[in-house]
């Protein structure tokens, strides 16, 4: 009886309406599927294939070399350097931005004057084109005439060569990124804060919870879906950092390649000089693996910790 | 009878028209370039002159963005099997594409070929065949502020001494705020390659079997660069940024930067001078940069290829390369252009051109090794290490040599 049922055709398959609906559903998603298929799925899978070929533009797909590109990359000191820079960037940028965004969201949630203005101002940083932002920040960082060094000079600090010092190049990129994304993350968190039902706060107050306790036991748990979302989005985005570096350092990757991230490395291999498209694809596959791993890990952890109302 | 006659006449007309049409079959070619708005009217005028002379040819001029964008689009179009007919291209873009290009040289007269500036022949010749032809070329020259440098340095020693003298803490806060000179090693390793040439060195030996960059000449060049380092602003930005901010007094840069550098000097109320690069131990040569024109063989009809070759040859004519130079700021690319009255008058009234012309006629170009792009990256990194005091010239060059060896293949 059980085996029979396992192989039984589902009841709804017998219905014509079911097939009509299914067909209609596929027609509706067809345009999106076609676009995604051509511009996302096909390139995605062909990157894997390409990573096993040695190929410089003419006569695709070149010569099959198995894992040769991976061997090259793993023996390239600039790859490891780029990997380290990327983790350094992600490791600082993601938590710092999130922390500041939480603070800002809490502030924006208060009944303040000029609240709409403040919200717009924070978000403006995010919607301004990145290249324009980079151009402005390049001058803010100028060692002699930059605004930052001017303010630091007021406190008696000597001139800091932000973009010319190999130890400061990456921090300079991080500061700019944090500034840019705090507003965006804060707006999302703010939406979450405003969605929390007031009854939880009332109940907590009746139970005599302190301000911090309310924040710790009510606000944060109920905000976890938004925090989780922002965390994943900014983690993935941070691993893909490229344009900030490219603009701040005029197309180079900072002094002594000190701000060369994984995506910059991919661009260098594939496009900036002799085109090694196979190596670029191999490095992309590695980047994909890293992002995939962290996303799965986060999913595992947060599934147990995220609370939906 | 009448009908028969009419038929003959009709046939004759059709045949005649056919022959006539074949000679002047309309043909359209696509020309991809990376010349931004300032240059476009100049290029358009040249193309209009060309189509006026060849009414059956239509040229679609397509601006493709920066050089980097152009390279990526050319590569993508080759992968898709549908490249333009003719395009601007740098030497190191050509090496991977050599199999899909239609060599221009064999379609040129011996006279035309001999007219190309000596320093530009090698860099357009692949496997012994003149494949591309020079188009928008610039040359490394020496820029200086006339108020601070009354007489530009003529030798390496003078350049070093002046850099030292001009480096100063002008506002007395304890840090240097004005450097004698400046370099952008990561973005412009050609500044080192200039020193290398002037010291009589080279990256590789003539048949590319051996790395020579760390020999005595290479070391001399790198040690000289290192001696300038304490008096140099090291940056990745364009030198005009620093020039217009009073941060450097003189530097070696491409002639293509003339307008920007001049603007920068004017913005600080200074007059800018242009001279030849300071003389090195062996010669006073400097590097020619800029793109060439290449015609694609892939997916083109013979008529299109012929038309594109015709255009390339048209642009090499003395009057046209001179027109291009005068209006764009690039340098003429043929020897005959430099002795035209038009150009001589131009140089007489534009004194900065004297140094550029002189430097151009005995300039040198990059080598055409297939891995030149990677080699340039490696050279840039070593040059930067030395200029930032991270490495001694000897250690950097030995390290560089072993990296270059792995690129010889």
Asked if the Cβ–Cβ distance from B68 to A256 is below 8 Å, we say no
**CB count, 10 Å around CB of B292?**
25
Give the mean pLDDT of chain B.
92
pLDDT tens for A132-182 read 999 999 999 988 788 998 898 888 777 788 888 899 999 999 999 999 999
Where residue B4 falls among pLDDT bands split at 50, 70, 90?
A: low
Find the helix packing angle between B318-328 and B341-349, rounded to 10°: 20
Å between A139 CA and nearest CA of chain B: 10
The residue-averaged pLDDT of B275-298 equals 96
Q: How far is A95 from chain B (nearest CA, A)?
A: 30
What's the pLDDT tens digit per position in B20-48? 445 568 999 999 999 988 899 999 999 99
| Residues of A with Cβ-Cβ distance to B234 under 8 angstroms | 164, 255
Res B165 pLDDT > 90: yes
> Any chain A CB within 8 A of the CB of B232?
no
B274: which strand partners?
Answer: B143
pLDDT digits (tens, 9 = 90+) for B183-194: 999 999 999 999
Q: Write out the two tokens for A299.
A: 């999913």
Q: B237: which chain A residues are within 8 Å (Cβ-Cβ)? A: 138, 250
- What is the distance between the alpha carbons of residues A53 and A43, in angstroms, rounded to a whole number? 15
Q: How much is the pLDDT for A221? A: 87
Judge: B377–A273 Cβ closer than 8 Å, yes or no: yes
The pLDDT of residue B19: 47
Percent above pLDDT 90 for chain B = 81
Contact state of B92 with A274 under an 8 Å Cβ cutoff: yes
Domains (range + CATH), chain A:
11-64 (no CATH), 71-305 (1.10.3720.10)
B96 with A144: Cβ contact below 8 A: no
Contacts of A144 in chain B (CB under 8 A): 177, 245, 247
Taking an 8 Å cut-off on Cβ atoms, the answer to whether A144 and B72 are in contact is no
* Chain B environment of A252 (Cβ under 8 Å): 186-187, 236
Per-residue pLDDT reduced to its tens digit, B371-392: 898 999 999 999 999 999 999 9
**Cβ–Cβ < 8 Å for A196, A223:** yes
Query: Is there a cis peptide before residue A61, judged by omega within 30 degrees of 0?
Result: yes
Q: Does the distance separating the beta carbons of A58 and B96 come in below 8 Å? A: yes
CB A131 within 8 A of CB A138: no
Closest CB from B72, B78, B236 relative to A250: B236
A-chain residues near B99 (CB < 8 A): 58-59
B56 pLDDT tier (thresholds 50, 70, 90): very high
Which residues, numbered 46 to 105 in chain A, qualify as contacts with chain B under a Cβ-Cβ cut-off of 8 Å? Answer: 56-60
- For A:119-148, CB contacts with B below 8 A are 138, 142, 144-145
User: Using CA atoms, how far apart are residues A265 and A242, in angstroms rounded to an integer?
Assistant: 9
Q: Which residue has the tokens 């007059």?
A: B271
Please say if the pLDDT value at position B16 is more than 80: no
Specify the higher pLDDT residue, B306 or B329.
B306
The CB-side HSE value for A241 (13 A sphere, CA atoms) comes to 30
Of A181, A178, A222, A180, which Cα lies nearest the Cα of A200? A222
Helix (H, G, I), strand (E, B) or coil at B188: coil
CA distance B229 to chain A (A): 14
Alpha helices for A37-76 (secondary structure H): 42-50, 68-74
* Low-confidence spans in chain A with pLDDT less than 70: 1-7, 305-309
Interval B224-248: pLDDT, tens: 999 999 999 999 889 999 999 899 9
- Name the residue among B351, B176, B212 with its Cα closest to residue B276: B351
CA distance A249 to chain B (A): 6
Put simply, the chain B residues between 153 and 212 with a CB less than 8 A from any chain A CB are 173-175, 177, 186-187
CB-based contact, B75 to chain A, within 8 Å: yes
DSSP H or E segment with residue B234: strand B232-234
Alpha carbons A161 and B353: distance in angstroms, whole number: 36
ipTM field: 0.78
Task: Find chain B residues with C-beta within 8 A of A273's C-beta.
Answer: 92, 373-374, 376-377
CA A141 → CA A173, A208, A260, B318, B389, distances in Å?
10, 49, 18, 47, 22
Closest residue by Cα to residue B95 from A153, A44, A273, A97: A273
Å between B176 CA and nearest CA of chain A = 10
- In whole angstroms, what is the distance from residue B319 CA to residue B307 CA? 20
Q: Which domains does chain B have, with CATH numbers?
A: 2-137+289-359 (3.40.190.10), 147-270+369-408 (3.40.190.10)
DSSP B44-79: HHHHHHHHHHSTTEEEEEEE-SSHHHHHHHHHHHHH
Among candidate residues B192, B178, B159, B155, the one with its CA nearest the CA of residue B387: B192
Could you tell me the pTM of the whole model?
A: 0.83
Euclidean distance between CA atoms A11 and A293, whole angstroms: 39
Write out residues 2-61 of B within 8 Å (CB-CB) of A: none
Q: What is the pLDDT of residue B358?
A: 92
Euclidean distance between CA atoms A239 and A237, whole angstroms? 6
Q: Is residue B173 pLDDT above 90, yes or no?
A: no
Contact B224, B199 (CB under 8 A): yes
Name every chain B residue with its beta carbon within 8 A of the beta carbon of A249. Answer: 186, 236
Q: Is B107 on the interface with A (CB under 8 A)?
A: no
Q: What is the pLDDT of residue A71?
A: 96
**pLDDT given at position A1:** 44
Closest CA to B43 of B75, B87, B94, B84: B87
Contact B236 A255 (CB under 8 A): yes
Residues of chain A positioned with their CB less than 8 A from the CB of B101: none
A and B: number of Cβ contacts within 8 A: 83
Q: Does B81 touch chain A (CB under 8 A)?
A: no
Q: Which residues contact B349 (CB under 8 A, 6 or more apart)?
A: none
Average pLDDT over residues B269-297: 96
């Amino acid at each position: 009886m059980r085996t029979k049922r396992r192989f039984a055709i589902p009841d709804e398959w017998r219905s014509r309406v079911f097939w009509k609906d299914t067909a209609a559903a596929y027609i509706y998603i067809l345009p999106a599927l076609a676009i995604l298929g051509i511009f996302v799925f096909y390139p995605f899978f062909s990157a894997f294939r390409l990573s096993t070929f040695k190929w410089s533009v003419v006569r695709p797909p070149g010569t099959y070399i198995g894992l040769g590109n991976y061997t090259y990359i793993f023996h390239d000191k600039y790859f490891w350097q780029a990997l380290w820079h990327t983790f350094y960037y992600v490791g600082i940028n993601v938590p710092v931005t999130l922390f500041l965004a939480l603070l800002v969201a809490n502030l924006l949630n208060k009944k303040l004057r000029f609240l709409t203005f403040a919200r717009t101002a924070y978000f403006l940083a995010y919607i301004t084109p990145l290249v324009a932002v980079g151009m402005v920040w390049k001058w803010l960082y100028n060692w002699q005439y930059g605004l930052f060094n001017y303010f630091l000079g007021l406190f008696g600090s000597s001139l800091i060569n932000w973009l010319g010092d190999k130890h400061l190049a990456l921090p300079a990129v991080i500061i700019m990124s944090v500034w840019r994304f705090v507003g965006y993350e804060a707006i999302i968190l703010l939406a979450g804060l405003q969605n929390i039902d007031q009854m939880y706060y009332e109940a907590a107050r009746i139970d005599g919870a302190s301000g911090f306790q309310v924040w710790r036991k009510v606000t944060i748990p109920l905000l976890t879906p938004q925090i989780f979302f922002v965390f994943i989005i900014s983690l993935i985005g941070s691993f893909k950092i490229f344009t900030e570096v490219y603009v701040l350092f005029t197309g180079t990757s900072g002094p002594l390649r000190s701000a060369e991230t994984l995506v910059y490395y991919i661009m260098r291999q594939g496009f900036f000089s002799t085109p090694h498209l196979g190596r670029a694809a191999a490095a992309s596959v590695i980047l994909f693996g890293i992002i995939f791993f962290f996303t799965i890990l986060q999913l595992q952890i947060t599934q147990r910790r995220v609370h939906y109302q | 009878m009448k009908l028969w006659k009419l038929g003959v006449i009709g046939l004759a007309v059709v045949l005649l028209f056919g022959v006539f049409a074949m000679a002047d079959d309309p043909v359209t070619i696509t020309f991809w370039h990376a010349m931004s708005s300032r240059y476009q009217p100049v290029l358009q005028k040249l193309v209009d002159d060309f189509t006026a002379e060849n009414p059956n040819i239509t040229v679609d001029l397509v601006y493709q963005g920066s050089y980097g964008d152009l390279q990526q689009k050319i590569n993508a179009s080759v992968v898709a099997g549908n490249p333009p007919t003719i395009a601007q291209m740098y030497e190191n873009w050509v090496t991977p594409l050599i199999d899909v290009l239609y060599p221009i040289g064999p379609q040129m007269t011996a006279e035309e070929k001999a007219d190309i500036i000596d320093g530009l022949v090698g860099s357009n010749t692949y496997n012994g065949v003149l494949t591309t032809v020079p188009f928008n070329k610039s040359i490394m020259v020496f820029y200086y502020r006339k108020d601070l440098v009354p007489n530009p340095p003529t030798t390496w020693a003078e350049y070093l001494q002046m850099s030292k003298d001009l480096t100063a803490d002008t506002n007395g806060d304890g840090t240097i705020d004005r450097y004698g000179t400046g370099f952008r090693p990561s973005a412009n390793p050609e500044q080192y390659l200039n020193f290398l040439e002037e010291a009589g060195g080279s990256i590789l030996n003539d048949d590319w079997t051996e790395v020579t960059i760390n020999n005595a000449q290479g070391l001399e060049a790198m040690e000289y660069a290192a001696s300038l380092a304490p008096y140099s602003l090291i940056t990745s930005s364009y030198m005009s940024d620093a020039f217009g901010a009073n941060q450097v007094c003189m530097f070696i840069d491409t002639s293509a930067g003339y307008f920007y550098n001049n603007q920068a000097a004017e913005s600080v109320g200074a007059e800018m001078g242009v001279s030849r690069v300071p003389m090195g131990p062996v010669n006073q040569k400097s590097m020619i940069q800029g793109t060439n024109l290449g015609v694609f063989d892939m997916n083109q009809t013979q008529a299109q290829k012929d038309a594109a070759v015709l255009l390339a040859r048209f642009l090499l004519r003395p009057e046209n390369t001179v027109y291009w130079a005068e209006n764009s700021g690039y340098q003429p690319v043929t020897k005959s252009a430099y002795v035209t009255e038009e150009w001589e008058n131009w140089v007489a009234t534009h004194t900065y051109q004297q140094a550029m012309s002189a430097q151009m006629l005995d300039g040198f170009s990059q080598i055409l090794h297939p891995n030149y792009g990677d080699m340039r990256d490696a050279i840039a990194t070593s040059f930067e290490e030395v200029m930032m005091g991270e490495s001694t010239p000897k250690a950097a060059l030995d390290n560089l040599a072993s990296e270059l060896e792995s690129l010889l293949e």
